[in-house]
Each structure stands twice: as C-alpha cells, then as structure tokens.
Structure 1
Amino acid sequence: MTSPRLRIAVQSKGRLAEGGMDLLKRCGLRFAYGRDKLHQRAENMPVDLMLVRDDDIPNFVASGACDYGIVGENVLREEQAAGGRARELDVALRLGFAGCTLKLAAAQGGDIRSSADLAGKAVATSYPALTAQYLRERGIEAEIVEMRGSVEVAPRLRIADAICDLVSSGATLQANGLAAFETVLESEAVLIRRSTGRDPRTDAVANVLMRRAEGVIASSQTKYIMLNAPKDRLEAIRNLLPGADAPTIARVAGRDDVVAMHAVCRERVFWETLEALEAEGARAILVLPIEKMLA
C-alpha cells in the first residue's frame, strides 16, 4: 500500500511565499512545476505543496486538508483568538524569517501613551480578535473598529482614536503622524500542525524536513570567521567572537608569534566586531557564510 504524501500549505504569493519556498528548496526538495497553480509536487520526497491565501492556511491545516502549513504567526494568533478550529493548532518550528511586530499606536504627542489610555476609546485594526483579547486581558474596554487596509489613516480621518497594526520600520506610522507605544505580538513565519490526530507516516517525513530546516535556519544566522592572531592576544580576540564555541587554533607557516584562528559564530557579526578584532591585532580577517549545518 502506497504511503501518504505530506501535504504542506504555503502562501501562494508574497514575502512568506518566497521565504517558504526558499527554505523548502534549501532543505533539499526539488519540485516539478506544472500548470496547476494551486499544487506542486516534490520529485525526491513524498511531499506536496498547496498554494493558498495566507489567512486560509490555519483552516487548511486544522481541517486536515493539509498536514502542516507555513504561515505568519500573526495570522495564526488572530485565528486562534477568534476561536474555532485554529485553537487545535500548535507551532512545530519557528522559521526565522518574515519578522514583524503588531503594535498599538496613536497620534504623536497625544494623550494616548499606553493601553490603559484606550479605555472608552476606539481602536482600528485588521486584527480585531487579537486586539480585543490583548485589551481584555488587561481589563480595558475599548471599541474595536475592523479595517482591511490603510489602518494607519484611521486617527487622521477620525474613524478611531488609535490603531493596532503591523510595524516593520515604523516609516508608515511616522508619515501619518503616529507613534507606537505598546507591542501586542512579535511575529515571524512559523510551521504549524494539528496538536492531535496526525498520521505518524507523514509526521516521519515532516521530522526529516524540520531537522533539515533547523540546520538551514542555524546556518543563515551563523558565520565562519577565519583570522590570524598574535599569540599574546588570543584570549582577548577569542572574547570578541560573538556566540563562538572553542575556536580552532592552527600554526601559521614561518611564524612563531602568530596563529590561525577559525571559529563558528552563532550570533551576528557586525563591522564593529571586525574593527574591534583588528584593534586587538587580528589580521587577514575573513567572514564566510555557512550553507548547511547540523549541530
């Protein structure tokens, strides 16, 4: 009897679609591209993709139409706050891309500076259930005005006193004379699944993919640093390497006062890091990306 294929719901277009497809390809999946815009079939693993709208993904997974889904955590938490099937879902893996923040914001220099100031006020948002839940948990009664787009114009048009909206750089808020004052949710892309009732055969395939995905995510946030270091400055230079385990030390041909140091850095490496290493005497500093990594 043929084993079932793992079905994964992925956003059909947008940032989550690009990030999700890139992650799956870096996990080794090869897809056969056909004329069907809603379905893609992996050639080298028993995996099928369903390409759908992002806000439909929680229902696809909760209903069993798909086994797993890649979705923004903001979408998942909104569906869960609204009740229904989405409450049966859990996060199998945080994917480390498509980060954004759901924030409360109001007019710059105005009287609303915290959620406590929203009592008796109106809040415009595309996330009515999540916003209402956040305020209710803090004992705040406010009117929720649901909007599907251009939420940031609501205070200026006197539709609402404040907003709850996704923020990345904050430039849109600033352009509309708004300032964020409280964070409702820190969001990123997540892999979701039903908490119960899963098929162990498709779960086994999913576990292989998640193991690979963990390696891809770790490698994307990790750099390999190579440098030459004076022997008398080894400890100082080692302490400057961000998130590094014990580095590898090797001889440099023709030099007794200098060694080669190689290290895997699990935190971001900034220009300031390189300049600090150079100030301690490090030379020939190379920072290299890591394509794949299994801990």
Structure 2
Amino acid sequence: MNQGIQSTPSGDEGKLKLAIQKSGRLHDDSLKLLKECGIDISNGVNKLKSEASNFPLEVFFLRDDDIPQYVEDAVADIGFVGENVVYEKNKKIDVVEKLGFGKCRLSIAVTRGDVYDDVNFLEGKRIATSYPVLVQNFLNEKGINAEIHEISGSVEIAPGIGLAEAICDLVSSGSTLFMNGLKEVETILQSQAVLIRNRQLAPGQQAILDKLLFRIQSVKKAKNNKYVLLNAPNDNLQQIISLLPGMKSPTVLPLAEEGWSSVHSVISESTFWDIIEKLKAAGAQGILVVPIEKMII
C-alpha cells in the first residue's frame, strides 16, 4: 500500500482503524462528527494517522478515492466516504450508515443554450466525467450510446474547450455550473457521506463499531429534533398535548399561575414549523426551542 500505511494482522481486535479524507469537502465534517461523538483526535499537519485518546480508534487520513480499496483490503476496518466514491469504485465492502453530511448529487449538465428534452439528447454525444462507471451504468440503463471521456478535475470546462458536449459531475448548489454556462439536466445519484466497513471484521472490532454506531446515531437523532418548552392554558391542554407526540409523550408540569401548565416535548425538524403554528393557534405561549446535543432512545 502507498503513503506508508500498511496492513496489520486481522486478529487485533482491541482497536478499530478508520479511514477519512485527508483534505477536501468531507474532512472537516468527519472530524466534527467524531468530536460530537465524544472522540478526541489529534490531527497534526501532514499526519497520515492519529489515535483517539479516549476511544479504541486509530484514524488514517487518505485520498477519498482510495478509501474503499483500503477498507476492502483490511488496511482500514471502516471508512467515512462519499456514496459517489463507493459506487464508482465498486469494491467488496458494506455500507453501514448514512452520516447526514456531504450531501450532493451526481448530475449530467449541458450548455445552457442546448435544447434538452430528454435523455435521448445524449445519444452519440461526448460526456466528460470523473465517474465513468456510474455514467456508463446510467447510459446502459437508459439504452443510450455515448462516448465517455474520463478526466479528473475541472470537468466543467470540457464543453467550453470542445472536449465534450456534456459533463457529469458532483453538484451542490449549482453555482459552478452556472458560472461555466451549464445547466443541470439529469441526476444520476443522490450522494452523502456514509460509513463503510470491511466484511471480515473480527468480533472485537465489530463490538467497537457497534459502540461507534450508537454514538453516531445518537448525534444524528439530536440534529433532526428540537426540544420544545411552552406554557399551555389548562383549558386547551389536551389539544396541545395531542400535537406533541414526543419520544413517548410530552412532560406536563403545573405552573405557579393557576390554570396554566408547562409542557416539554421533542419535535422533529421536518415537521417543526407546521406544529409550532398549530400550537400557537391552540393557545400555547412562551414557546422556547432548544437544540439537542445527544438523543438516546
């Protein structure tokens, strides 16, 4: 293996080896997630690996394109990497958990002046991309014959210099496409960071992974929910409670002022504003919304 990182015997069950991106869009969020999980990692300048001080975890800092191969070869036991890389490399690994960050999409784009009615526009065209496997799979599925030009970096410039009539690249906001005179026309894959694992983990390593997953899932649940406190008139208390399912049921405490109660609950981020509007309409007052750091169910 390159970069000076070598495989260690698979019988070492006392520690889990995690590969993350050494630089780029997933690096900072990967370290942030570990910190939110209560895992302290010292990431010095140009370090290829580091050990957690309070969890049986060793972290390797690698190129994202190499991570699936390292995990398949058991140089790393697990990895944080984009789904786009996982499916492009198509290695013998398992996707264990979606991590909720690094969200983007792999899309085909053409010049803004092109009239694009459907995927048949791509018939016989040249497509520049860093993801030839995923693009070819898409074309095969649609029954389209096109010529794929594999390039790395600066894919958006390909139509402007006559290399291709279309491109396929990762898109987040779409601003880069716009600045290069392109428009998004087909989405091949919705992608985010995922946790992948080697298929031959030893029992002790799997036990450590289970502990890590428990922490990750608790952090994710916390981000997707809000803790809400409000004052409710007792006359409308049952109606207000019916709007707040919480994890089990809302907590209700009497206030010093007669005829009023304090209600505490958890609301999902996806339904938050709709429920808040209904609570106000039902007479709730003094609504406080508090972020949740961890959520253990």
Question: Is 1:27 aligned to 2:31, yes or no?
Answer: no
List 4+ stretches of structure 1 deviating above 4 A.
32-36, 232-245, 269-276
> How far apart, in 2, do the equivalents of 1:239 and 1:117 lie?
52
> How far apart, in 2, do the equivalents of 1:122 and 1:36 lie?
39
> How far apart, in 2, do the equivalents of 1:291 and 1:98 lie?
20
Aligned to 1:95: 99
SS in 2 for 1:152: helix
Given that residues 242 and 269 in structure 1 are in contact (C-alpha distance below 8 angstroms), is that contact kept between their aligned partners in structure 2?
no
Which of 262, 265, 269 does residue 263 from structure 1 map onto?
A: 265
Aligned to 1:191: 195
Alignment map for 1:114-153 (pairs within 5 Å): 114-153=118-157
Q: Which moved more, 1:143-152 or 1:231-240?
A: 231-240
SS in 2 for 1:117: helix
Cα offset, 1:279, TM superposition: 4.2
Structure 1 residues 231 and 212: CA distance shift in structure 2, 3 A: same
The C-alpha deviation readout for 1:173-207, integer Å capped at 9, x for no partner, is 2223322122111111100012x322111111111
Cα offset, 1:106, TM superposition: 1.6
SS in 2 for 1:165: strand
Cα offset, 1:234, TM superposition: 4.5
> How far apart, in 2, do the equivalents of 1:166 and 1:33 lie?
27
Given that residues 78 and 196 in structure 2 are in contact (C-alpha distance below 8 angstroms), is that contact kept between their aligned partners in structure 1?
yes
Aligned to 2:109: 105
Alignment map for 1:36-55 (pairs within 5 Å): 37-55=47-65
Given that residues 223 and 292 in structure 2 are in contact (C-alpha distance below 8 angstroms), is that contact kept between their aligned partners in structure 1?
yes
- Residue identity opposite 1:23 in structure 2: L
Structure 2 unmatched ranges of 5 or more: 1-10
Aligned to 1:83: none
Which of 160, 166, 170 does residue 170 from structure 2 map onto?
A: 166
* Pairwise CA RMSD: 2.5
> How far apart, in 1, do the equivalents of 2:246 and 2:181 lie?
39
Cα offset, 1:115, TM superposition: 2.0
> Could you tell me the percent identity over the aligned residues?
44
The total of aligned residue pairs comes to 287
The C-alpha deviation readout for 1:7-57, integer Å capped at 9, x for no partner, is 110111233111111111222222356677011011222211111111111
- Residue identity opposite 2:68 in structure 1: P
Aligned to 2:294: 292
Aligned to 1:213: 216
Cα offset, 1:172, TM superposition: 1.8
> How far apart, in 1, do the equivalents of 2:245 and 2:180 lie?
38
TM-score, length basis structure 1: 0.88
TM-score, length basis structure 2: 0.87
- Residue identity opposite 2:25 in structure 1: R
> How far apart, in 1, do the equivalents of 2:238 and 2:170 lie?
44
Cα offset, 1:219, TM superposition: 0.7
Given that residues 13 and 202 in structure 2 are in contact (C-alpha distance below 8 angstroms), is that contact kept between their aligned partners in structure 1?
no
Given that residues 245 and 265 in structure 2 are in contact (C-alpha distance below 8 angstroms), is that contact kept between their aligned partners in structure 1?
no
Structure 1 residues 144 and 36: CA distance shift in structure 2, 3 A: closer
Structure 1 unmatched ranges of 5 or more: 81-85
